[in-house]
Every structure is written in structure tokens, then in C-alpha cells.
């Protein structure tokens, strides 16, 4: 069975917020630094479109990252992500803060992380997910693992699964683009 067939649709039905790490999830995990100390990150536009479509079915998206970067703030603003916590080295506490801001519980969250720093927050969430190239300890605890690596479509695949679970595919994807779940691998 592939990742599409293994997606936990029943568990995903009650999700109200998707919490994402940045480096290794929304990006490939590479950090480029300029001589002036500015950071450059590459984001996948398909992941971004998946986030926008997910928001259209009423699921909030949040960013919880251990690093601090102006680039992340710009990307979050660009995607309309209003819940962002940067510099969170204790991500379990960060998750609690995000949930408090959004007025929901961790049991109503899906989480995608790729490294050990994500585990304390990830394990509190209803749906624990990871990109295909996540650290082995994260892969071992994830309930669903994307077919794709971080920064290369893992977030998009997760967003599509959540849209499908929420029953929003026809309104958000099929009517707008003429694409069925089967056309996308579901």
C-alpha cells in the first residue's frame, strides 16, 4: 500500500488545525546564509497552494519552528497563516500556545515534523505525520508518512488528504480545477 492508500481519513475528519515545522517540512532542510547573515530558504509552491486550498475548507494552518527567520514570517504572511511561533526550542509548549491562540485542543490538530525536536509536540496531536525523509525516530512515531520528502510535496499531499477527509474535495479542487481525487493519486 502507498501513502495515499494508508492515509487515516477517519482520524483526519476532526482536524481543525495543521501545525507545520519549517526546515525539513516546508523546505528541504537546507539553510543558505549570505555574507550579511541573511537567511535564504526555498519553499515549494505546490505545498503553498495546498495550504491555501486547505484553508478554504476551514482548517487553520500554523507554523511552529525552532529557528527564527524573517523569511518564515514573510512566507506565513504570503500564505495567510496567522498562527506562527518561531524560536520554539520546547515545541510541546509552543503547541500549547498555538492551540490557546486558536481556541482548540491538540487533539484537534494534525502535525507534520521531521526531527526529534518535533516529537514532544507531535505526540500530543490527533494526527502525527512526517515527510518521507524524516529522522527515523519521527518515522517510527508517525501515523502517516508522506510519499514525498520535506519541501518537495509532503505538505501538499497531507493537505490533499485532509481536504478529502473533510469532504471538501469537490468544492475546493474538482469544481475549480476539474481534478478528481483519483487524478491526484487518491
| Helix, coil or strand: residue 174 | helix
Q: With bands split at pLDDT 50, 70 and 90, how would you rate the model's confidence at 2?
A: confident
8-38 pLDDT, tens digit per residue, is: 999 999 999 999 999 999 999 999 999 998 8
> Which pLDDT score, from 0 to 100, does residue 119 have?
98
Place 155 in a pLDDT band, splitting at 50, 70 and 90.
very high
Q: How many whole angstroms separate alpha carbon 116 and alpha carbon 118?
A: 5
Res 174 pLDDT > 70: yes
- Is CATH 3.40.50.1000 the right assignment for the domain spanning 10-177? yes
Per DSSP, helices labelled H in the chain are 3-6, 9-12, 45-56, 70-79, 91-102, 119-122, 136-141, 154-165, 169, 175-177
Kindly state the DSSP code that residue 22 receives in the 8-state scheme: S
Model confidence pLDDT, tens digit, residues 117-131: 999 999 999 999 999
Amino acid at each position: 500500500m502507498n501513502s495515499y492508500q494508508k492515509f487515516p481519513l477517519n482520524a483526519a475528519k476532526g482536524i481543525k488545525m495543521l501545525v507545520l515545522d519549517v526546515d525539513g517540512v516546508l523546505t528541504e532542510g537546507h539553510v543558505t546564509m549570505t555574507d550579511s547573515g541573511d537567511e535564504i530558504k526555498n519553499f515549494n509552491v505546490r505545498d503553498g497552494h495546498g495550504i491555501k486550498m486547505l484553508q478554504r475548507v476551514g482548517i487553520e494552518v500554523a507554523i511552529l519552528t525552532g529557528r527564527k527567520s524573517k523569511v518564515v514570517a514573510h512566507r506565513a504572511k504570503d500564505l495567510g497563516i496567522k498562527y506562527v511561533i518561531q524560536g520554539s526550542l520546547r515545541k510541546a509548549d509552543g503547541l500549547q500556545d498555538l492551540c490557546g491562540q486558536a481556541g482548540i485542543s491538540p487533539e484537534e490538530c494534525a502535525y507534520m515534523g521531521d526531527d526529534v525536536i518535533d516529537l514532544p509536540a507531535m505526540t500530543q496531536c490527533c494526527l502525527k505525520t512526517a515527510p518521507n525523509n524524516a529522522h527515523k525516530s519521527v518515522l517510527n512515531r508517525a501515523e502517516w508518512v508522506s510519499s514525498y520528502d520535506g519541501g518537495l510535496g509532503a505538505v501538499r499531499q497531507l493537505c490533499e488528504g485532509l481536504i478529502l477527509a473533510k469532504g471538501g474535495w469537490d468544492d475546493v479542487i474538482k469544481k475549480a480545477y476539474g481534478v478528481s481525487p483519483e487524478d491526484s493519486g487518491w
